[in-house]
A and B are shown apart, each in its own frame.
Chain A
């Protein structure tokens, strides 16, 4: 046993004790209770419920739409992050602050607004429907709502990483004869790829659980445009508590896996960063010397 370390600062026991008790009561007890409830069913039956026709369709819609929304945001988020860091344009600070709107705007407000915009007589719907594109009350509407909700994730994970890219590295690439496109593909993109993936995973994880914004625009047709969180609620409203619990436990397990992969990604990003450190230090010294 190592000797007990004498701690100078007070309050460790109190702070940690309070944290643990609070977390146990608010998080562990309720989640544990849910898993216990699900265990009444047994593993085979949980799988049975989760692979029923309606549940399976709901999982497919939920994960499919979430994946598409995260992909849309990965593409446009990269462009938005890039122009926010690299290009000067009027109103930039305003635009930068506006990116966080989906975090601040209640999801129900986003839901009714998007449903109204994309409905057949809405500002956007009236131009889209003659083209044969129906958004509101279709699975495409779910993708639109989830794209709105998860928009900040990719932008906000990429911004600091793009800011950290040293211009010297790009200059070196250019002076060695690389075209701008080659520099982007071979130098810039590899540097920001882990962050892009992290932003994608965060957006995906958030989208999978989303409920408030989706239900207004989805149409909520079983087998077609019904998401898993809604199916959980409708089971609950039919007093099928066990069925709702089984689906919730499966969702929780999947969320855990996502959270784990996000943490691994972040660890990977941090490690890559660490490997770059000598270069950064050198660059800082170089720029300090010239300044």
Chain B
């Protein structure tokens, strides 16, 4: 880094800004993160382990994982399909479509749950028909999957669209003109190009899917051992003044968040490295 008096703040300003900025982060990010684990271990390790062994906590963990796994393939297929259409082709209404994909970011999770109650709930549009055929969607796992899909579908698409736009379509066009089938082109050219971006989107959408609270809470009905995901279980334990149990369950989710941050940082680093490599390879051609 070059130090230049003219373009640097005086020393006391630099130190003040560093203190204020880092102090703010410590107060709002560092302290809560530490507190989760301290509270979970407040009564010692044995009680912590005991709390995690509770059958209801374990079934909540499993349901959380199961919903995340159920949602994943839908989000991957949608993300790739939407990004392929938007990044590689021109068509009318494209910006409207992009806005539509952004929509869940602006809709309250509570509203995202409510819309499915209005469709599939007892008094909902399809409520009577579903009851007749004995199909349960609301206050059952299918409704929770739908609400999670609603909340998480944009993540992968939002990651892939700019990436695929920046890569252009020359490589794919070359593959097709050399006689590759659509599937061969996708598998050998597109997929290797987007794999880090795709992984990045998967990490983000998975974190949201496992942590989602509001939307899932509205449609779950909170049936213990059946429709309780881990975040919902945290709420129940906390409201029962079972602080150890609540924070033990919360610590699992906090660990998941830390794993997410590490994975995200590694993928970001890989993507940066790959673009740099590409740039050094392409640089001599350009001059």
Contacts and interface: CB of A to CB of B under 8 A. Distances in A.
Same complex: yes
Interface in A4-28: 7-12, 14-16, 18-20, 22-23, 26-28
Contacts of B24: 76, 79-80
Interface string B212-256: 111001100000000000111011001000010011001001101
A151 B28 contact: yes
Interface string A104-141: 11111110111011000001100000000000000000
B32 A148 contact: yes
Interface in A132-173: 147-148, 151, 167, 170-171
Nearest to A28: B100
A185 interface: no
Nearest to A5: B90
Contacts of A229: 108-111, 214
Contact size class for B?
35 or more
A100 to B, nearest CB: 6
B61 interface: no
Contacts of A259: 99, 102-103, 105-106
B103 A108 contact: no
B99 A244 contact: no
B182 A112 contact: no
Interface residues of A, number: 91
Interface string B114-134: 111111010101000000000
B56 interface: no
B9 interface: yes
B260 to A, nearest CB: 4
A189 interface: no
Contact of B116 (A16, A30, A116, A205): A30
A244 B91 CA distance: 38
A236 B114 CA distance: 9
Nearest to B100: A23
Contacts of B278: none
A95 interface: yes
A167 B7 contact: yes
Contacts of B14: 87
Interface in A239-271: 241, 244-245, 248, 251-252, 255-256, 258-259, 262-263
B207 A104 contact: yes
Contacts of A113: 32, 35-36, 39, 247, 250
B29 A151 contact: yes
Nearest to B9: A180
Contacts of B104: 27
A99 interface: yes
A97 interface: yes
Interface in B1-57: 1, 4, 6-10, 13-14, 17-18, 20-22, 24-25, 28-33, 35-36, 39
Interface string B157-186: 000000000000100110011000010011
Contacts, number: 278
A27 B100 contact: yes
A251 B182 CA distance: 44
Contacts of A123: 31, 35
Contacts of B114: 34, 232, 236, 244-245, 248
A121 B232 CA distance: 25
A12 B173 contact: no
A290 interface: no
Nearest to B234: A108
Given A15-B82, A95-B22, A208 B261 contact: no
B21 A83 contact: yes
B201 to A, nearest CB: 13
A100 B264 contact: yes
B110 A211 contact: yes
Max chain A CB contacts within 10 Å: which of B88, B115, B173? B115
A62 to B, nearest CB: 10
A205 B177 CA distance: 46
B105 A206 contact: yes
Given A95-B22, A174-B7, A112 B91 contact: no
A262 B105 CA distance: 12
Contacts of A76: 20-21, 24
Interface of A: 7-12, 14-16, 18-20, 22-23, 26-31, 33-34, 37, 76, 79-80, 82-84, 87-89, 93, 95, 97-110, 112-114, 116-117, 123-124, 147-148, 151, 167, 170-171, 174-175, 180, 183, 205-206, 208-212, 216, 228-230, 232-233, 236, 241, 244-245, 248, 251-252, 255-256, 258-259, 262-263
12 contacts: A30-B118, A34-B115, A98-B33, A103-B204, A105-B211, A106-B250, A110-B32, A117-B31, A147-B28, A232-B111, A241-B121, A256-B106
Given A108-B231, A113-B250, A117-B32, 6 more contacts: A26-B146, A106-B250, A109-B234, A112-B235, A113-B35, A174-B6
